[in-house]
Structures are given as C-alpha cells and as structure tokens.
Amino acid sequence: MVEMKNVNVHYASGVDALVDVNLRINDGEFVFIVGESGAGKSTLMKLMMRELAPSSGRVFVNGYNLSKLKGNKIAKFRRSIGVVFQEFRLIQDYTVYENVAFVLRIADKSNRYIRQRVPYVLNLVELGQKARSKTHDLSGGEQQRVAIARALANDPGLLIVDEPTGNLDPRRSYELVGLLKEINLCGTTVVMITHEHNLVQDFGGRIINLEEGKITFDQTIGGITDEGE
C-alpha cells in the first residue's frame, strides 16, 4: 500500500518537483506512473523508497509512516519493498545466483531458506538455467530479469520498477510488462514508472500521469493487447 497526502517536494535549487500530490495505491494493484522527462516521476519514486523526505505532507508505504522511520526500522521497511533500477545495479563479477543470494544474506536469512528461495525467484523470471553464469556474460534483458529476481528475493509487498523498457525493443518491452503483470497476479503490488505512453495505453490498467509535479490524470483504462484488462 502506498498513500501520499498533500505531498510537496521543493528542491533547494528552487524547483517544485511535486505539488500537492495525493494518491493511494492499494495492495495488489498494478499501476503505471507516466510523465515526460522532468515531470517528477523519479522524485515520486524516491519518496516511496524513503530516499527523500517530502518538504511537506505525509507518505505511508506498506503500513510504515515514512517520516517517522528511524534506525533499524528503515532497513526493515526497505525489505518490504523491491526496487528495479534503470541501470540494474548488479554486481557484475558475481554469478546470477550470488546477486540474489546476497540480499537474502544481508537480511539474515538461513542458508537453507536461501537455497530454496534463490532458485524459486530465478525460475519466476525464467533464469533458472543461468544461475551459475557471471552477470557480465548476460544480455541486457537477462540482467534486467536478474535485477527483478533480486528485487523479489525478500518477497516484498511492493515492487517499484523504474523505466524498465528504456533500452528494450518493442517486443521485449511487451514481454517485460507481461512478466511484471504475472508477478502482480502472484500478489505483489507493482508500480512501473515509464515515459512510454503508447505501451501503457496498449496494456491499459491504472495510469497516473504527472505533469510539472502535479497528478493530472489517475484512471483505469482498457487496453488493446491480450494482456490488457
């Protein structure tokens, strides 16, 4: 669950990146956040991850009041979300398996659990056969799926995916959104940030549009693909 109440973000440079943003994303939803470059998408994402605090207003994610989080509660909160960054942020000379196992070790999971969980999430993204490959030997699309598997390792309630189709051709973009939809059907709330209006309109679903820091559209539309709802 994500809830923002009267959120403003004013950067020291003088830019109002978000202006009186109010939104609620319920558990189990799949939401596209769209907007042109500079509209405020990254700022919204940083708020959801508690990388940034709002200048005013309140942000709640997965039951945590983010403005009140301190100390080890922050680490606990972060494990309740999964984030797939545009540039993946994988450890290139680790294997695929190790990239995913690493975050579970940080979360103090048992070796027994790690041996079960890592193959499970790698199979979800269809990379079970590549577990022993070094990350730098994979294609961009495969690395992205490792990043998704890693983000799912801690079984987060919320998955935030930042511009995942930026470097993909149209067919792979559709496959990627299809994969995210499957993950969503398994119960994870998915927020996908994108500037690709066409893709979003083809899939349909709930679309939140940002323009100059304001939500100008928040509706569920029908899509035209088989996967659309």
Q: Which of 4, 25, 41, 208 binds ligand ADP (CB under 6 A)?
A: 41
83 binds ligand ADP per the rule CB under 6 A:
no
From the list 38-46, 118-126, 128-136, 218-226, the region that binds ligand ADP by CB under 6 A is 38-46
Output the six-digit token pair for 105: 């070790």
Contact between 52 and 42 under an 8 Å Cβ cutoff? The reply is: no
Residue closer to ligand ADP (CB basis): 47 or 138: 47
Q: Which of 35, 54, 156, 205 binds ligand ADP (CB under 6 A)?
A: 35
217 binds ligand ADP per the rule CB under 6 A:
no
114 binds ligand ADP per the rule CB under 6 A:
no
Please give the full DSSP string across 158-205, using - where no structure is assigned.
EEEEESTTTTS-HHHHHHHHHHHHHHHHTT-EEEEEES-HHHHHHH-E
17 binds ligand ADP per the rule CB under 6 A:
yes
Enclosing H/E stretch for 142: helix 140-152
Q: Apex CA 112: angle with CA 108 and CA 115, to 5°?
A: 100
37 binds ligand ADP per the rule CB under 6 A:
yes
| CA 152 remoteness from chain centre | 10
11 binds ligand ADP per the rule CB under 6 A:
yes
Question: What is the contact surface with ligand ADP in residues (CB under 6 A)?
Answer: 11, 13, 15, 17, 35, 37-43
